[in-house]
Structure formats: structure tokens, C-alpha cells
Structure 1
Amino acid sequence: MVIASLFKALCLSSCSSPLQVVRPSGKKVFNVRRYGAKSDGKTDNANAFTNVWKSACARSGSSKIYVPKGTFYLGGVEFIGPCKNQIEFVIDGTLLAPSNPRDIKQDTWINFRYINNLYISGTGTLDGQGKQSWPLNDCHKNTNCPKLAMNRWDNITQQQNGTLNFFSVHHFNITGVTVTAPGDSPNTDGIKFGFCSNIRISNTNIGTGDDCIAILSGTINMDISNVKCGPGHGISVGSLGKNKGEKDVNG
């Protein structure tokens, strides 16, 4: 997935005004290299990235985490709030997943959780190396199939930015993103939403082997414009109706 102005600033869930870009001022910059991250494409930088996040998250003033050009291998990482400030996360390099999905020791590869005021941007790439994992996705016939990791964003408000799985995320924009997977890749939803609200997706290109955008239970108030889908199944509402307690999709 190519990041290019991934998410423009989001309004807090209590805001009633239209979304607008809020650029943090007076930010302290946290360069991942200064925390020991190596761009050799093979050193696992999960601890370095986690330590950068903890420092930026704990700071009272606005923070900017910067990933410079280069290939940074990540075996799996979580960025967890709440934080004390607004965080800008700029990715100009490549974040590289393990080629063997079993080397990701969690359900998600990159996970953002419980964060307000998150801004993600940059010219970089999130390379999930999915080609190595797709042959293992045979759950339709194998009950012991491995659970493959994805990127997940949980309980986040005011952020920007399958490939991307959003759950309980509110008031956010996604713009200028490119998601790329071949048409024969299995179950590679581009962007998936559940129990989310007030979402804007624009100026984005999504090519997958499944839904380009999947709108699931409890998602309300979504605006999609200038999005190119293909290959893939297009923009879908569902799956719905399978589980008890599902909520309507509205707006």
C-alpha cells in the first residue's frame, strides 16, 4: 500500500463542525533511526518503533514520528493510546512485513488503538508481502487454516489515513492512498469498516482480489468520492445478516 497524504486530520467525535486539516505546530520530531531502527530490510524494528511511539505519546506537546527513506522490517507492532497530545506519523520509507506470515506473532501486523488526534501521511509504502501468504488462505476447505495478519485501526478518533481494517474509528479522512493486490489474491479487501462513523474517502486507488471497500455492521455516515476500484469486487455493503446483534448501515 502506498501512502501519500494517507489521512487528513479528523474532528473529535464531539465536534459538530466540518472536518478540517489541523497541522500540529511546535512539534518535537522523533526520528525512528535515533531510537535504533535500521533500514536494512532484515532487522526487526518492532521494539524501536514501540519505544518511539511511547516517547511521542507521553509528551505533553505535539509530536511528529518520522520514518525516513529506507526499508524498515517490522515483525508486528502495536501503537496504543491514549496519548497526551496530537501525533503526526510521517512514513517516507517502506515498512516491510515478514515474508512468512507465521513470523507475525499477533493477529495484526500494524495496529493503532485508542488514539485521538492522529495524522498519518508520507510518500512511503506498507509492504505486506502478501504474495507469500495467499497460498495459505484456504479456509474455505481447510478448517485448520492459519489466521493471517492484517493492519488494524481500533477505537481511533480524528485520524487520517483488509489491507486496512477499521473498527470503531470515528471522524476521519482517507485521501491519496493506493492499495495494490492482484485480482487473483484471496480475500484481500482493500479498506474494511465496522462500527465506524463519519468517514470520508477520496482520491484513492484500490486494486484487490476481493472488495475494494467493504462497509460492515454499524457503519454510519460515509462519503466516498473519486475512488478508482479495480481489479476487485467494487464497493460492497456487507457481509451482513450472519451474526446476532449486528447493527444497520446508515448514511
Structure 2
Amino acid sequence: MACIVFGFKALCFSFLFVAVASRPTAWKKVFNVQRYGATSDGKTDNVNAFKTVWKSACSRINGNSKIYVPKGTFYLGGIEFLGPCKNKIEFVIDGTLLAPANPKDIKQDTWINFRYIDNLSIYGKGTLDGQGKQSWPFNDCHKNTSCPQLAKTMGFAFVNDSSVKGITSLNSKMAHFNFFQVHHFNITEVNITAPGDSPNTDGIKIGYSSNMQISNTQIGTGDDCIAILPGTTNLDISNVTCGPGHGISVGSLGKNKAEKDVNGLTVSDTIFNGTSNGIRIKTWESSASNILVSKFVYENIQMINVGIPINIDQKYCPYPPCEKKGDSHVQIQDVELQNIYGTSTTKTAVSLQCSKSVPCKNIHLIDIDLKYNGTNEQGPAIAMCQNVDGYARGKKFPPNCLD
């Protein structure tokens, strides 16, 4: 009898094992771009191959997709990857994606653009080569109304719960990475580089986005390392090295009527090396919008030969002379700057030039230690304050101007 019971149990277990093993399982499929016709000769335009890969990967239902760009140089014209997708997408770049050198050969404002996608992960040891050198002489729109449209390297619009890790962006025509209406996005271990004299090659531009993190990243460009634009909230920046460039800038703000508030910014454990500015908030003097800039924390930041390490400028005028119709109406408040140290290349190491109509409120300077590295005859570093309410404590070098 015992043998019969044991045999019955064994038979049931066998049926159970067969049933479980026969269930369809979700598995990740790898889409190697070369198997879809992509050529790594640095000359053949691979747009059609990449579009085919994306369509197949994005539409896959049973399991996630992994698009793989192996080592090699893949020439790529302007391309857009459009969602929504039916699964999570990994986009692994180990080779070089090469942009057209001629700016006219990219017929869109962003060379590689991702839109309406969730759960996108871009990573690898590869390079996005924007080949911007030929384009930079045409970047003169401030004085030439017929200037050509130059493409950003990589853009994200309406992309959520996603990330970029490990890749290099080289010599963009304009901005390297652009984010619009992006939420819950991580950028880490990215290397962004362009010459210090390359115009408008911002490293990372963010607008109308929330809950983003930038960490362990090196940025050297001819414009802002990171530009924080209207509508940005809850942005955390840490362990970033910035230089050359114009620093980490909030703004410019207030130029257009429909702008939204900027709040919830933290910048920590960051180094500025040879930049024209370090910490910078800039608003137009004759602003069209009344918005709020608030809840900012800057802490544990080193300045190495920075032009103006701490700079709030509410009389922003990039190409003077500017038409002055009134004060800025952008309210700046609740800003804490703590443990900011290093050297400046101008005597004014701290410049807080706020609006007469809406003065800056609740600005805290805690343990500021900035030295001017000029000649002794020119004297030590100074701080300048205008229309600012707040306090200073701890180290006060240069001498505090808030009292």
C-alpha cells in the first residue's frame, strides 16, 4: 500500500514539473544592430537599420528587449525613437555613433531623440560623437537672424523611469543632452566633453522635469555644465566635476510669460575647475513672468580658479546693450550655501545682485572660504550684496556682506 501511495505522489510531482516547465517564460531578446544591416564603416548611414531594430524591440510583447551596438563606428543621420513600447528597453552602446559633420545633414533639432517612452535604460562604454567643430562657427544666432538650426546630440521628451549610464558625449553641435517633460530619470558615470570655446555646447539641459538625479559625472563644455530651466523640480546633483564651462546655472529665467517655478535643487560634493561661474542663478532684468525659485541647497563644493564662485544675477544681459524696462520679477528665496571653498580668479568671489522689486529672501551663507588668487597688490576677495535678506555664520571669507 505504501508503495502505491509513494508511486502516486511521484506521478503527481512529475505532472506538476511538466506543467510548470511547459509554461511560456518571459525572456530578454538581444537585437544586435549589425544583424539588422548596420555597418560599422563610419560612412554608411545606418538610420534605416536602427529604425528597424527599434520597431522590432519596442513592439515585442513577451519579454524585454536589449538593443546592442557593438564596438565599431556607426554613422547615423538624424533619428527619432518613438514610443510607447510594450516592454522595458535596454539600449547598450559599446561602439561609436557618429553624427554627420555637415549640420545641414541633420533635418531635426536633435540628432538622436527619444520620445514617449517609459523604462528605458541607455548604458555602455561607447561614444556619441557629434562632430561639432564644423558647426560651431555658425552658432551666432544672437547677431545673425539667418543662423542655421544646429542639432543637440541626444534628447528625451516625455520619458519616465529611465536612465543613462557610462557613455561619453563628444563635441556636440549644440547641447549634449536635453530633457523636457522627463520624470524619474538617473544620469550617472557619464563623460561630456567639448572645447571651452565651443559656443552653446551645454552639457545637460533640463526643463519642465522632476525627480532627476545626476551623479559621478564629468562635464567640460563651452557653456553651462548643467542648465536648469523653468519648471524643473526635485533635482539632485552630486559628485560632478565641471570645467571648462560656465558652471551649474539655474536659468536664465523670466524671459517668457508661460514659465513655471523652479524648486527643490540640491548640489553637493561637486568640483568646479576653471569655469567662468560656479553656482549661478540668472534671471532677466525686465522679466515677463512672475515665478518662484526656492528650496535650493549647495553644500561641500570646491572652487578651483573659478571666475565668480557664487553668483546670483538678476540683471542678466548676455549680449549688451539690453533694453531695460524694469526689474526682474523672479522671486528667489530659501537658498542655503554651506562649505563652499577654494579660489576665484576675480576679486568678487561672492556676488548677490538681486531684484529691487522682489529682493532675495532667506539666503544663508555658512562656512564660506573663498580666496582671490590674484596679486597681493589687488587685495583679498570681496563679496557684493544688493537687495538680499539672509544671514551668514561660520567662516566668512570673503567678509560677509549680508550684515
Regarding TM over 0.5, the answer is yes
User: Which structure shows the higher strand fraction?
Assistant: 2
Does 2:226 align with 1:187? no
Instruction: Tell me which residue corresponds to 1:15.
Output: none
Does 2:153 align with 1:153? no
**One-letter code aligned to 1:213:** I
Shift of 1:183: 0.5
**One-letter code aligned to 2:160:** T
**One-letter code aligned to 1:127:** D
Deviations 1:102-124 (A, max 9, x none): 01111110000000000110000
Instruction: Tell me which residue corresponds to 1:12.
Output: none
Shift of 1:101: 0.6
- For residues 109 and 228 of structure 2, what CA distance do their matches in structure 1 show? 21
Instruction: Tell me which residue corresponds to 2:45.
Output: 44
Deviations 1:191-241 (A, max 9, x none): 000101000100000000000000001000000000000000110000110
Deviations 1:134-171 (A, max 9, x none): 01111121100001011211000011112000000110
- For residues 244 and 147 of structure 1, what CA distance do their matches in structure 2 show? 24
List structure 1 runs of 4+ shifted beyond 3 angstroms. Answer: none
Instruction: Tell me which residue corresponds to 1:55.
Output: 56
Shift of 1:26: 2.5
Secondary structure of 2:231 counterpart: coil
**One-letter code aligned to 2:249:** S
- 5 Å-filtered alignment, 1:92-131, equals 92-131=94-133
**One-letter code aligned to 2:261:** D
Instruction: Tell me which residue corresponds to 2:137.
Output: 135
Instruction: Tell me which residue corresponds to 1:204.
Output: 217
**One-letter code aligned to 1:156:** V
Shift of 1:74: 0.6
Who wins on radius of gyration, i.e. which is larger? 2
Does 2:179 align with 1:178? no
Deviations 1:29-53 (A, max 9, x none): 0000011000000100011101100
Does 2:167 align with 1:164? no
Secondary structure of 2:119 counterpart: strand
**One-letter code aligned to 2:184:** H
Does 2:15 align with 1:30? no
Secondary structure of 1:48 counterpart: helix
- For residues 105 and 241 of structure 1, what CA distance do their matches in structure 2 show? 30
Instruction: Tell me which residue corresponds to 1:18.
Output: none
Instruction: Tell me which residue corresponds to 1:16.
Output: none
Alignment RMSD, CA only?
0.8
**One-letter code aligned to 1:165:** N
The match for 1:220 among 233, 242, 246 is 233
**One-letter code aligned to 2:42:** G
- For residues 113 and 100 of structure 1, what CA distance do their matches in structure 2 show? 25
Instruction: Tell me which residue corresponds to 2:90.
Output: 88
- For residues 117 and 256 of structure 2, what CA distance do their matches in structure 1 show? 28
The match for 2:250 among 227, 231, 237 is 237
Secondary structure of 2:104 counterpart: helix
- For residues 229 and 142 of structure 2, what CA distance do their matches in structure 1 show? 21
- For residues 184 and 226 of structure 2, what CA distance do their matches in structure 1 show? 17
- For residues 207 and 168 of structure 1, what CA distance do their matches in structure 2 show? 25
TM-score of the aligned structures, taking structure 1 as reference length: 0.89
Higher relative contact order (CA 8 A, sep 6+): 1
Instruction: Tell me which residue corresponds to 2:288.
Output: none
**One-letter code aligned to 2:156:** W
Identity %: 77
